[in-house]
Amino acid sequence: MSKVVVVYHSGYGHTRVIAQAVAQGVERHLGSTCLLLAVEDVEAHWDDLHRADAIIFGAPTYMGSASAAFKQFMEATASFYLARPWRDKLAAGFTNSGSLCGDKLNTLLQMAVFAAQHSMIWVGLDLLPARACEGVFDGQLNRLGSSLGAMSQSCVEQPPEQAPPVEDQQTAAHLGERVARLAQRMARK
């Protein structure tokens, strides 16, 4: 059995859609449980984070990096940094922005460095980039071609009920299931 926490910030609801897809992916893996945790609620859940086998980080990309609310969460971990309660836990990440690129890679790098600072083990996305010469993806996973984590794109004019696209949600679920599977494998050792 593996315990995974998905800790995320969502400014307009689109990143929450991706966080929910990640959590669904975790729970698809038999024997895994998932706590979906908004950064606004983290103060009451530090123990859940410390007891987790894996933590998956999620934030929108604003102005080329993680949102300020997510950065506040990151900085709050300084209070236990020296104790290293997250050492050897699995970590992964996802992000969303309004444009296809939107400098999302920088947000994933920021999360990966944050995980490394906590002595965590980063899990990337094990999917090849989707191929769509004419912009039609037909349900292919990894539409935005990321390896470091799950990326999604939401047209800012659309509400969270319409965006991000299903391919991005399925990619996020795949990441959640992968982390849960690897966390369970590590727990058996």
In the prediction, which pLDDT does 188 show?
A: 75
φ, ψ of residue 62 to 5 degrees: the values are -120, 125
DSSP summary character for residue 164: S
137 or 159, which is more confident? Answer: 159
In the prediction, which pLDDT does 131 show?
A: 79
Across the range 40-51, mean pLDDT stands at 98
In the prediction, which pLDDT does 135 show?
A: 64
What ranges make up the beta strands (E) of the chain? 2-8, 32-38, 54-62, 65-66, 90-97, 121-122, 150-153
In the prediction, which pLDDT does 187 show?
A: 85
Q: What is the DSSP string of 41-93?
A: GGGGGHHHHHH-SEEEEEEEEETTEE-HHHHHHHHHGGGTGGG-TTTT-EEEE
Q: How confident is the model at residue 52 (pLDDT cuts 50, 70, 90)?
A: very high
Q: What is the pTM of this model?
A: 0.96
pLDDT tens digits, 70-80: 999 999 999 99
Across the range 22-45, mean pLDDT stands at 97
Residue 18 has pLDDT above 90, yes or no: yes
DSSP summary character for residue 105: H
Across the range 14-31, mean pLDDT stands at 97
pLDDT tens digits, 108-157: 999 999 999 999 999 999 999 987 766 666 778 999 999 999 999 999 89
66 or 138, which is more confident? Answer: 66
pLDDT tens digits, 82-108: 999 999 999 999 999 999 888 999 999
Please enumerate in sequence order all residues whose Cβ is within 8 A of that of 111, keeping only pairs 6 or more positions apart, or say none.
57, 59, 66, 91, 93, 95, 149
In the prediction, which pLDDT does 82 show?
A: 97
